[in-house]
Structure 1
C-alpha cells in the first residue's frame, strides 16, 4: 500500500469514526434523558453511568475523527504519535461503556424492584417527586400501572379519589376525550410501566453496547492504518544525488 493510499484510507476511516461516535453519543443522551423522566423508579443511579462514559467517548471520537482527517494531509511523527495516544484513550472509554452497558442490562430488573411501592405511594400532588415521576413515566413510556391499569384499582389514591378514575397520565395521547375513567379502559394505555420501562432501557443499553463495540473496531482499524503509515518511508521529492 503506497503512502497516498494509506492516507486516503486514514481520512475515510477517521470520518467513519466521528460519525459512529456521534451516533453512539446520541444513544447515551437518550439514555440520560429517559432516566431523568424515571429516576424515582430506580433504586440506584448507576444506570446512567454508561451514558456519561459514552458521551465522553463520543466527544473524543469526534476529536479523533477530525484530527485523523487533518492528519491525512500531514507528515508529522509527533502528531501521529498523539493520534495513536488518543486512539488508546478512546479504546479505554468505549470498552468501559461497553462493560457498563452489559452489566447494567443484567441488573435492570433488580433496579426496578421498588416500582410497585412508588405507585402505591402516589398522591397526585405535583409537589411530590414520586408522583411527578409516576405521571412523567406513564406519559414518556406510554404505559399505565405496574402491569396494566388495574393496578391502580388497589391503590389508596384511587379509593380516596372516589374510585371512578385513575391518573390522567394513563390516557392514551391519541384520545383527547380521555378523562382517566375506569369505565373506558380502551382509552388508556394497555401496557404496564414495568414492561415498557425495561424494554426501553434494555434497547438503549444494547444500543450503547453494540455501538461502543463498533467504535472499538473502527478504532482498531485506524490504529493499524496509522501504524502502517508510520512504518512507510516518507515520499521522496526532487532529485537525488547518485
Structure 2
C-alpha cells in the first residue's frame, strides 16, 4: 500500500505540473500518459487494500481476485513506464511551442497566456525561454518601450526590483524551458524507477499468495487413515 501511495503522489504531482503548464507543450499523448500513471497508482492502492484483507480471510476466491489485480497492475504500470520513457526522450520536441507562448505575451492580467507565463516565471524562478535576454526580442518588450522585463522575472531576494533593464542583476538569469523540463523529467523518471519497486513488491506478493493457497489446500483436504 505504501508503494501505491508513493506512485499516486508522483502521478498527482505530474498531473498538476503538466496541467498548469500544458500550453507550453505541443498536442501529444502526454495527457494520456499522466492519466495512465494515475490509474496505475489507483489500482495499486486498491490492490494493496485487498491484499491486506486477503491476509485476514481464508478465501480462495479473494486470493484469486488479488492475483488477477496484481496482473492488471503489472500491465498498466508497464504501459505507464513505457509512455513515461517515451516522453522523457522526446520532451524537447514536445516543448516546441515554448517560444511562441512567450512571443504572444501581452502583460495583461486578463490574458490567460500572459498569466501562465508570469505564474511559471514566479514559481520556477526563471526568466525568458533560454535566459532573460530572450525578452529583448519579444513584441511585448518593444511595445512597452524596451525599458523593463516582466515583474515576474524579478528575483524575490530584491524587494525593490521593478524589472528595469538597467538592473539585470535583480532578474532571474536561468531560462524557463530548462527549469520546466527538469520538473517534468523528474516526475517521469520517478515513475520509471518506481516501476522497479512495484515489480519487486509484486513478486513478493505472488509468492505470499501462492503459499497461502498451498496452505489452504493442505488444511482442507486431508488423507483419512483407516483404523
What is the TM-score of this pair, normalised by structure 1? 0.85
Report if the CA contact (8 A) 1:105-1:202 is conserved: yes
Partners of 1:234 and 1:100 in 2: CA distance: 43
Any idea what the Cα deviations from partners look like across 1:195-229, whole Å, max 9, x if unmatched? 11111111111011111232122112212221222
Equivalent residue for 1:202, pick from 185, 203, 207 = 185
Q: CA deviation at 1:45?
A: 4.5
Aligned to 1:15: none
Aligned to 2:117: 134
> Structure 2: 5+ residue runs without aligned partners?
none
Pairing 1:117–2:100 present: yes
Aligned to 1:12: none
Pairing 1:174–2:169 present: no
Partner-residue secondary structure (3-state), 2:133: helix
Any idea what the Cα deviations from partners look like across 1:83-105, whole Å, max 9, x if unmatched? 11111111111111111100111
Report if the CA contact (8 A) 1:38-1:136 is conserved: no
Any idea what the Cα deviations from partners look like across 1:41-98, whole Å, max 9, x if unmatched? 1012422333211211212211211211121122111111111111111111111111
Aligned to 1:193: 176
Which stretches of structure 1, 4 residues or more, deviate above 6 A after TM superposition? none
Pairing 1:228–2:204 present: no
Aligned to 2:132: 149
Equivalent residue for 1:37, pick from 8, 11, 20 = 20
Q: CA deviation at 1:176?
A: 2.2
Q: CA deviation at 1:28?
A: 1.0
Q: CA deviation at 1:154?
A: 1.0
Q: CA deviation at 1:121?
A: 1.5
Equivalent residue for 2:88, pick from 105, 126, 143 = 105
Partners of 1:53 and 1:162 in 2: CA distance: 47
Corresponding residue pairs, total: 222
Could you say what the CA RMSD is over the residues aligned between the two structures, in angstroms? 1.7
Equivalent residue for 1:79, pick from 46, 59, 62 = 62
Report if the CA contact (8 A) 1:95-1:213 is conserved: no
Report if the CA contact (8 A) 1:102-1:206 is conserved: yes
Aligned to 1:93: 76
Could you tell which deviates more after superposition, 50-59 or 23-32?
Answer: 50-59
Aligned to 1:58: 41
